[in-house]
Amino acid sequence: MRKVGIFNSIHVKFVLIYVMLILLALQIIGLYFSQQLEQTLKTNFSNSIKDRINLVEFSVREEMLKERPSDDPSLESSLRTVLSGFSSDDINEVRVIDAKYRILASSVSDHQKMLVGQKTMDDIVKRAIVSESPQSVIYFNEKTKSRVQKSTHPIMNGSEVIGALYVESNIEKVFMQIDQINRILAGAAAVSLTITIIIGIFIAQTFTRPISDMRRQAQAMAKGNYSRKVRVYGNDEMGQLAIAFNHLTNQLLESQSTTEAERRKLASVLENMTDGVISTDRKGRVSLINDSALGMLRMTSDLVLNRPINNILGIEKEYSFEDLIEMRESIPLDFSTEDEPSILRATFSVTQRETGFVNGLIIVLHDNTEQEKIEMERREFVSNVSHELRTPLTTMRSYLEALAEGAWRNEDIAPAFLNVTQTETERMIRLVNDLLKLSRMDSNEYELNTEWVDFNTFFNSIIDRFEFSKSQEVSFRRIVPPVDLFVEIDTDKLTQVIDNIISNALKYSPDGGIVRFNVAVLDGSIRVSISDEGLGIPAANVNRIFDRFFRADKARSRAMGGTGLGLAIAKEMINAHGGKIWAHSVEGEGTTIFFTLPYEQHDDGEWDR
């Protein structure tokens, strides 16, 4: 989880907003207070100056209205006397000016000598006389480095302006008072702001502590930890939010537990399904596949995940993903190789939301290999049985038709025809009997009548029987251990097995050939082998000689009366005894049939190999 920066913290934001609001309020209050204070002090200062000027104005007007000769110097002296009585710390200078802008007197003695009798150049004086109204202006005196207020008050005689009073007053003290009061206000604001910040921090903690707890709880929940609880600090909105958050945590914990349980169930179901299951996203890329599907496709998960489903199934040329969404029937898939057949059938199901938006596909793969193999074997079995029956039946029909047409009267031909018919009948009987045996074995409708016998004696007796009755020039060689090997077997059924194997060895052995018999003791079993020196079997067909109706040399087998079921029956009987049967053959050198039987070696019968 990314750490929260100091300026991204809600605690700091709350304090900053709180302080900014207080600071804004203080600024507005201070600005308003400063402006009003400055305006009030300046107004009071101006009113104070005006009140005193009104007194001066009255005295000056009286002196100016007295009748004197034009060259009487007593006016300037009288005015100077009047003005000298009104000098103070806040009034720098007072001048009397007539209606013609001529300076009549000044309260400053230096200016009295220099300026009296001259015309004034101040616009403020001219404006006051012309407008017959007081004028005032404040400017900064560069020499004294202080602020000075110039004010002009017209002297009226009824409605006539007879002159004006020009007053320069020192207003710097007013601004000094304003600055002093502003400094006091700024200090008070700083102190109050500091106190406000401290109080704001504590208030912010009150609001942000539950939020911080909930943030830490949310981070823990994102990592899968639902054991933490948010502390409830009160019953206000924050407290109710904390209670709701704790309730949400409990609900999420229960939902996660339920989801996890369902996920385990689904994973277990998918893992143990014999059918393959593949899930895709909305773009048709594989997002989930179980082991059964991987086994059927002969792929690994890293080669399948995030790849298009039609490429995985090998149908990209025939179907696009949009075609598979619309697919309502299953599709056969052939993944067979030269070594192993594999026939699959894929069924498609669309997953979508209530709005109809397609989320992806669910593909179920069924392995139809065994079913197809069984179906193929059934068809082949029916074909083989039909073929095996058709040949003798056709032969019998031909001979019977000849007999029916009069051949039975011929004493030379009739016996031969009847002999052939009898031979073919016996062949069909053997075929039917073999089929019945296989049918009973397939349905487990037979029982083994087992007994303990010495296998060497049993095996030698069968070999002796064939050796006495064989017609061709074939010699027997035996390698049998000179010990007693007691095994529990069904002698009748095992005799059928050995008879069939020896019969085949004799059939395919050339004159002067050797049939070899061998018995060896292995760990937990005995192994019996019967070898001939015949033509052998091609390597591609060695493993098929135990299939029903399979013949390595079909023409010779039929000529010798074989049904093609002898080794298939032998395999079923050996399997019923708990053993195994197999063959080894080299083309042109001969064939060896091996089979094993369970054997427990006892101390009193132990044989040192």
- Quick one: residue 336, left, alpha or beta (phi over 0 = left, psi -120 to 50 = alpha)? beta
Cα separation of 525 and 527, whole Å? 7
Domain 11-178 has CATH 3.30.450.20: yes
Q: Does the pLDDT at position 381 exceed 50?
A: yes
Q: Does the pLDDT at position 30 exceed 50?
A: yes
Higher local confidence (pLDDT), 260 or 562: 260
Q: Does the pLDDT at position 559 exceed 50?
A: no
pLDDT, residue 605, reads 46
Mean pLDDT over residues 404-411, rounded? 77
The pLDDT > 90 percentage for the chain reads 3
Q: What is the mean pLDDT of the chain?
A: 79
Per the DSSP assignment, residues forming a β-bridge with 526 are: 521, 597
Q: Are 589 and 513 in contact (CB under 8 A)?
A: no
Q: Per mean pLDDT, which range of 173-182, 433-442, 581-590 is the poorest? A: 433-442
pLDDT-based confidence at residue 251 (cuts at 50, 70, 90): confident
Architecture of domain 273-366: 2-Layer Sandwich (3.30)
Q: Does the pLDDT at position 143 exceed 80?
A: no
Residues for the chain: how many in total? Answer: 609
Q: Does the pLDDT at position 305 exceed 50?
A: yes
Q: Does the pLDDT at position 50 exceed 60?
A: yes
User: DSSP characters for 234-293?
Assistant: -SSHHHHHHHHHHHHHHHHHHHHHHHHHHHHHHHHHHHH-SSEEEEE-TTSBEEEE-HHH
Q: Does the pLDDT at position 517 exceed 90?
A: yes
Q: What is the pLDDT of residues 132-141, one digit of tens each?
A: 888 888 887 7
Q: Does the pLDDT at position 310 exceed 60?
A: yes
Mean pLDDT over residues 541-560, rounded? 62
Mean pLDDT over residues 111-126, rounded? 77
Q: Does the pLDDT at position 179 exceed 80?
A: yes
pLDDT-based confidence at residue 608 (cuts at 50, 70, 90): very low
Q: At a CB cut-off of 8 Å and minimum separation 6, what does 477 contact?
A: 514, 515, 516, 517
Q: Does the pLDDT at position 70 exceed 70?
A: no
pLDDT-based confidence at residue 8 (cuts at 50, 70, 90): low
pLDDT, residue 528, reads 92
Higher local confidence (pLDDT), 216 or 514: 514
Q: CA 294: distance to chain centroid?
A: 21
Q: Does the pLDDT at position 71 exceed 70?
A: no
Helix (H, G, I), strand (E, B) or coil at 206: helix
pLDDT, residue 113, reads 65
pLDDT-based confidence at residue 440 (cuts at 50, 70, 90): low
pLDDT, residue 296, reads 84
pLDDT, residue 609, reads 36
pLDDT, residue 527, reads 92
Q: Which CATH number fits domain 372-442: 1.10.287.130, 3.30.420.40, 2.40.50.140, 3.40.50.1100?
A: 1.10.287.130
pLDDT, residue 555, reads 45
pLDDT, residue 529, reads 92
Would the CATH topology of 11-178 be identical to that of 273-366? Answer: yes
Q: Are 578 and 584 in contact (CB under 8 A)?
A: no
Structure tokens, 272? 């143990």
Among 50-59, 119-128, 434-443, top mean pLDDT goes to 119-128
Q: Does the pLDDT at position 309 exceed 90?
A: no
CATH superfamily assigned to domain 451-605: Histidine kinase-like ATPase, C-terminal domain (3.30.565.10)
pLDDT, residue 526, reads 92
Mean pLDDT over residues 76-101, rounded? 76
Higher local confidence (pLDDT), 580 or 201: 580
Cα separation of 110 and 116, whole Å? 10
pLDDT, residue 563, reads 56
Q: Does the pLDDT at position 259 exceed 50?
A: yes
Q: At a CB cut-off of 8 Å and minimum separation 6, what does 375 contact?
A: none
Q: Does the pLDDT at position 377 exceed 90?
A: no
Nearest to 361 by CA among 280, 270, 275, 266: 280
Q: Per mean pLDDT, which range of 22-26, 455-459, 486-490, 544-548 is the poorest? A: 544-548
Cβ burial, residue 570 (10 Å; 0-12/13-18/19+): buried
Q: Where are the domains of the chain?
A: 11-178, 273-366, 372-442, 451-605
Cite the DSSP H helix spans in 405-454. 414-442
The pLDDT > 70 percentage for the chain reads 86
Structure tokens, 467? 């050796």
Higher local confidence (pLDDT), 522 or 377: 522
Higher local confidence (pLDDT), 545 or 390: 545
Q: Does the pLDDT at position 594 exceed 90?
A: yes
Q: Report residue 475: phi and psi, to 5°.
A: -100, 150
Nearest to 329 by CA among 352, 351, 310, 348: 348
pLDDT, residue 11, reads 65
Q: Per mean pLDDT, which range of 351-355, 529-533, 571-575 is the poorest? A: 351-355
Cα separation of 198 and 203, whole Å? 9
Q: Does the pLDDT at position 2 exceed 50?
A: no
